[in-house]
């Protein structure tokens, strides 16, 4: 066995021996979750752990963002590893000893696991700085769940200065434990939100001719919006327009004078994204004018589409195949969900991958954001080993070990 491989095996053995401690961190975070942009105590917990490892730590970046910096003894590249740590407004319905102690707040997407695993990665790698050509940055990001997200403010405050590569992961409760999902190109969609308010003229339900029915106007807008994708978008380009809220009326016999629609647009292609926004304004204006109503639109441009860089993605695929076997490295299927790690990938080459966490235990099979969401905690080790494998590839050189 060559010395470089021997060092990686030693790193993995240390990860194995620290497993119980990492699980305890995950359970602590799970019991005391905090919502997006309110993660004060979570950030404090992370900061204290990083300092105890001997890292240089910078806190309160772009809000509650935290960065731990591991400087290698020798010059080389700088690799950033990212984990998110915000929770969701979901009531925890699990029956476990570590269920959330905060009413109505829960780690229902695995961010507690992401954070614990990155902390575990940082702790072990700190012992190997003398072997490292370059630096490892452990970035803990707040506010992933709610646009505008925590990634952009952290980038604006300079966390990517001198960084060469960026990598992130996400637990996947729909994928078997021990499997990894890897894929090049666009993997997650850009996400926009819009609110359309229609102002009509209310009146008696028996005298519609004396009114401008805002529900009729808004309904026509809903129907027309659904035709944008089927009749205005290239069939080979993906897009989704969803109306999630339709609010109007107060009584069965009163014609509502106003109605509100709220929806989302998901796309990969920027030209498609811009065209859909333009069409939404045109449709709302045309239909409202036709009925004599007025309207307003609040359109929020959210996260960009997540694009995995081909070279770095194929490097990660090769590394994981080498370490975990070819049968355990699967092709990622693009989704119309969104993720603000996309901002990092706009600025630096890298990739975002998924780590399976499902077993035959029904408790591990609930989808993300479900009130009973949980995962097999052995996935923490797979996440740590994946990150350490990446750092080992980019920052460890055989001739210096």
Residues with a catalytic annotation lie at 86, 144
Tokens coding 277: 């926004």
- H/E element, 321: helix 310-324
CA 175 → CA 183, 307, 326, distances in Å? 15, 21, 16
CA 202 → CA 214, 223, 292, 301, distances in Å? 8, 22, 13, 32
- H/E element, 111: helix 111-125
Closest of 7, 18, 8, 183 to residue 117, by C-alpha: 18
Cβ 131 vs Cβ 43: under 8 Å: no
Residues 6+ apart with CB under 8 A from 5: none
Rounded (5°) CA angle 105-147-189: 110
**What is d(CA 150, CA 3) in angstroms, rounded to the nearest whole number?**
40
Report helix, strand or coil for 195. strand
Token pair 């290239």 is found at 234
Residues comprising the chain, all counted:
401
- DSSP assignment of 117-152: HHHHHHHHHGGGGGGBEEEEEEEEE---SSTT-SHH
CA 311 → CA 161, 235, 350, distances in Å? 21, 28, 8
**What is d(CA 103, CA 367) in angstroms, rounded to the nearest whole number?**
20
Alpha carbon dihedral 55, 60, 65, 68, in 10-degree steps, equals: -10
Q: Which residues pair with 75 in a beta bridge?
A: none
**What is d(CA 309, CA 305) in angstroms, rounded to the nearest whole number?**
12
């Amino acid at each position: 066995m060559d010395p470089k491989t021997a060092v990686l095996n030693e790193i993995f053995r240390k990860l194995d021996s620290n497993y119980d401690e990492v699980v305890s961190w995950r359970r602590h975070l799970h019991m005391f979750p905090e919502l997006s942009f309110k993660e004060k105590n979570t950030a404090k917990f992370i900061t204290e752990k990083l300092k105890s490892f001997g890292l240089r730590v910078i806190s309160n970046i772009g809000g509650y963002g935290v960065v731990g910096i591991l400087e290698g003894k020798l010059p080389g590249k700088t690799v950033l590893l990212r984990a998110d740590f915000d929770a969701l407004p979901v009531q925890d319905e699990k029956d476990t000893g570590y269920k959330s102690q905060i009413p109505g707040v829960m780690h229902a997407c695995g961010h507690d696991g992401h954070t614990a695993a990155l902390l575990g990665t940082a702790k072990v790698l700190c012992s190997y700085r003398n072997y490292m050509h370059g630096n490892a940055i452990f970035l803990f990001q707040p506010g992933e769940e709610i646009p505008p997200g925590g990634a952009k403010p952290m980038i604006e405050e300079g966390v990517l200065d001198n960084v060469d590569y960026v990598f992130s992961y996400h637990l996947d409760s729909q994928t078997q434990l021990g499997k990894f999902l890897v894929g090049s190109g666009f993997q997650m969609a850009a996400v926009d939100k819009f609110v359309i308010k229609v102002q009509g003229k209310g009146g008696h339900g028996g005298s519609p001719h004396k009114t401008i029915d805002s529900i009729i106007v808004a309904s026509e807008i809903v129907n027309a919006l659904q035709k944008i994708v089927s009749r205005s978008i290239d069939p080979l380009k993906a897009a989704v327009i969803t109306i999630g809220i339709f609010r109007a009326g107060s009584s069965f016999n009163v014609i509502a004078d106003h109605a509100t629609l709220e929806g989302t647009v998901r796309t990969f292609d920027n030209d498609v994204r811009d065209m859909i926004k333009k069409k939404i304004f045109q449709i709302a204006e045309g239909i409202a004018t036709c009925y004599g109503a007025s309207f307003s639109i609040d359109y929020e441009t959210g996260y960009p589409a997540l694009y995995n860089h081909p070279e770095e993605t194929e490097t990660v695929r090769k590394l994981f195949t080498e370490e975990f076997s070819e049968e355990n490295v699967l092709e990622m299927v693009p989704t119309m969900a969104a993720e603000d790690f996309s901002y990092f990938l706009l600025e630096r080459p890298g990739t975002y991958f998924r780590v399976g966490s499902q077993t035959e235990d029904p408790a591990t099979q609930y989808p993300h954001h479900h009130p009973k969401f949980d995962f097999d905690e052995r996935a923490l080790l797979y996440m740590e080993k994946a990150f350490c494998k990446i750092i080992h590839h980019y920052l460890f050189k055989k001739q210096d070990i």
